[in-house]
Amino acid sequence: MEDLLQSVDNLFSLLDERKMNYVLVGGIALLQYIQGRNTEDIDLILNVTALQKLPEIKLTNQSEYFARGTYQNLQIDFLLTKNPLFAHVQTYHTTPQPFFERTITSATVKGLLLLKLYALPSLYRQGDFARVGLYENDVATLMFYYSPDMQEIHAELASFISNQDLTAIQDIVLDLTQRIARFQRNQE
């Protein structure tokens, strides 16, 4: 664990040194807002040009919108800004967050919700039940603790997804809202 934390610190030092415009997203970013989320990698929004300026990161996979690589003993998943939603989150939904002994740019609660909800219809189509469960739990936990305006989030997502995916997301959010309400009733 100590080696992993050192690798994370080294990665952020490298990004800062190269003046990279990045946003921390995923499980590590969620830890800024909720407890108990485990993760084994770092997720960053970054543009392809910046990624090419980081030869220390060994890319193992790259597609139009995603890349995966390793830096020291750390796995990194990149959400590339060629995807309009990822670029949108990087531009409009970030906040500085303390991270160990530095300040990093991290996604806001709304930014994390946009990314998680955006991914869910695809995860359902892929039949990735384990990741569906993690993402739905992340969304439900953020909804429970932060009470975001989900209609506003749906409206913002609408320009980045199909009507079919938007309907699926609305159904997921309705189900999560009902689960949260059941939980709250049991707490009374």
Average confidence (pLDDT) over 110-114: 98
What's the token pair of residue 188? 């009374």
Q: In what order do the strands lie in the sheet with 102-107?
A: 58-62, 66-71, 74-80, 41-46, 23-25, 102-107, 94-99
Domain-by-domain residue ranges, the chain? 2-107, 110-187
pLDDT of res. 38: 64
| pLDDT tens, position by position, 132-151 | 999 999 999 999 999 999 99
pLDDT of res. 35: 78
Rg (CA), the chain: 17
Average confidence (pLDDT) over 93-109: 93
SS3 95: strand
pLDDT of res. 1: 57
CATH code of the domain made up of 2-107: 3.30.460.40
Average confidence (pLDDT) over 2-27: 90
The whole-angstrom separation of Cα 125 and Cα 122 is 5
The whole-angstrom separation of Cα 170 and Cα 117 is 9
Average confidence (pLDDT) over 159-176: 98
Single pTM value for the model? 0.93
Average confidence (pLDDT) over 72-90: 96
| pLDDT tens, position by position, 30-63 | 888 887 666 778 999 999 999 999 999 999 999 9
